A and B are shown apart, each in its own frame.
Chain A
Amino acid sequence: MTGNKTALKLLGLAALLAFPVLPFSSEYVMHVAVLIMVYAVLAMGLNVLPGFCNLLDLGYVGFYGIGAYTAGILALNHNVSFWLIVPGAIALGALCGMLRGAPTLRLSGDYFAIVTFGFTELVVLFLTNEIWLTRGPLGLPGIPPIALSLEFLGIDWRYDFLSEIPYYYLGLAMVGAVYVVMCRIEDSRLGRAWLAIKEDPLAAASCGINLMAYKTVAFAFSAGVGALAGCFMAQWSMFLAPDVFKFWESFLVLCMIVLGGLGNINGAIVGAVVLIALGEVLRVLLPKLGLPAETRFLVYGLIMILIMRFKPGGFFPTIAATSKKSRLILDLKARLQAERAG
């Protein structure tokens, strides 16, 4: 049983690694694969607030935008190294996340939802109007692609990302890293504190959990992950415009985690895969039906309503069941069973 599972996991990993060299992996397929990875990171990052803390975030792509523009401006105008761009963008995103959440710390979750509802709009307004910084509605074209270099260590090595393939592998590494971090946090004192707040804030406080401090950590962490996805995207797409970060994008990411099951890390990734793939299909299909491509959101809205009504645990409840098994718990289970038997 366990052997089978490990084998299956290895096979999956091998398939992911070999994906770019498979015959059907055209430039377009690779592009969609990378897009899925960007959204998988966004979905996992957004999941922290509604999934772990019961706070509905309706403006998540604001951080995606902040991360993307930070990376775009630093790479384009200041030629900053990728090694510095990433932590810089994450830190700025995290800071903005804390500032956005701070006014609602003492209030009920409804106020948080209200504040986030308009947040994307504010970010888009800023990106559109601060032309000196962002070039406004014209957008930022010509952002250089990612270049990894070890020159700062005195080693003469440099690698430029010139096709989809290196982005694919870097994206895979990013998804993997975020996934591991998410799983580790979920199964930790911090993750349990969040889940306690989600279940019952008053009881959580009575267990000694400082609600404001832990919510602030969640705000910062979630936003930081969004900014990370943004800075990857900026140098991958090489063009940014304020319109990319409108409310609809937040809605799409929210729909992913609703589909995968709120609080379910695996589900967030599955949600990203399903909805991005579906989006690509609809993008082709809808114009053929004489409808504007934006109307694919009709389907997303419908998915959201139906899931909440009929399958509030997400469309793939079994994925959730397999996720939460840490080593410690498995050991404990074995011990309890042994005691009962003996």
Chain B
Amino acid sequence: MFYREAGQFKSSYKEDQAVFPILQDRIGIAILLLVAFIGIPLFAGDYFVGAIMTPFLILALAAVGLNILTGYAGQISLGTGAFMAVGAFSAYKLATFSIALGGAEATLPLILTILLAGVVAALVGVMFGIPSLRIKGFYLAVATLAAQFFIEWLLVKVGWFTNYSPSGVITAPPLVVLGYEFHTPAEKYLFTLTFVVVMAMAAKNLVRSHIGRGWMAIRDMDIAAEIIGFRPLQTKLTAFAVSSFFCGVAGALWAFVHLGTVEPEAFGINRSFSILFMVIIGGMGSILGAFIGAAFITLLPIFLNNVPPMIGWNIGVDMVAHLEFMIFGVLIIFFLIVEPHGLARLWTIGKEKLRTWPFPY
């Protein structure tokens, strides 16, 4: 009843192939964007905006990136953290390099810096994607760990990447775009949100294009895809490139916008794992799923951690943390049993139901 698409006729191919062909979807997205762009910065507190929403959005962006590689192109990767690190450190090098050249005024525009950092990450991603032509499945997942550990090590070891800072920790320069400095949590949040929305839309369109169809063909069966004319080399490597670009941008945002300082450990193996979890829990092959998964993996533990003190249950922070772990684990299993295809699938099913509700037949 609420979700009827009857009467919405498409009279051109363009309309038929729109990203959101159904009116209700368009309204829903518009409302969501309004809330995200106006509602949250206006009404939510600094804690919610700065410590919850901003990191969530950045990790969701990385999850979108990994979802392109794992969900659409079928290549499991555990090198996400490393590609984020490449993005973060490239952005830092680009930013400080331009400071060194022409003083603080002549810096490379911030947005360009971040995008270029993504490009560098893409190149590195392609390099480490080459073994995927031979290695498949979990073997590939473990092989990408080689990238993870190697890049982490390289960034710690080579002083040039950190401008010879004694401890290998970089402090990001201030966020200035066209002379305007993004300072408060809300401003930083909006900065991140803009990036994330634009890039998520780009990803959504990309996976609907012929490139995306190539990825999916490779995922479903690479030999068959090869036979019908997709080149595995190019298809897989573009997936690695695009995915790493997203991860690189996410890494740069994490360093510049969220933490303001970055050490390679911030992009360690745990980061790679948690982003893979987001993709699987959220739903492989779904951009929406990346967001839902990121929410599940980042917000749920924080929420669980907040509950016992909130309801006045005084059991000590260590016990809370243990409970958080246990409940989180149980919920992962619970959701997998309820819907193995990810939380995004629940949304799809929900839509189906709403379409006919309250008269199922």
The answer to whether A and B come from one shared complex is no
> Which of B's residues lie within 8 Å of A, judged by CB?
none
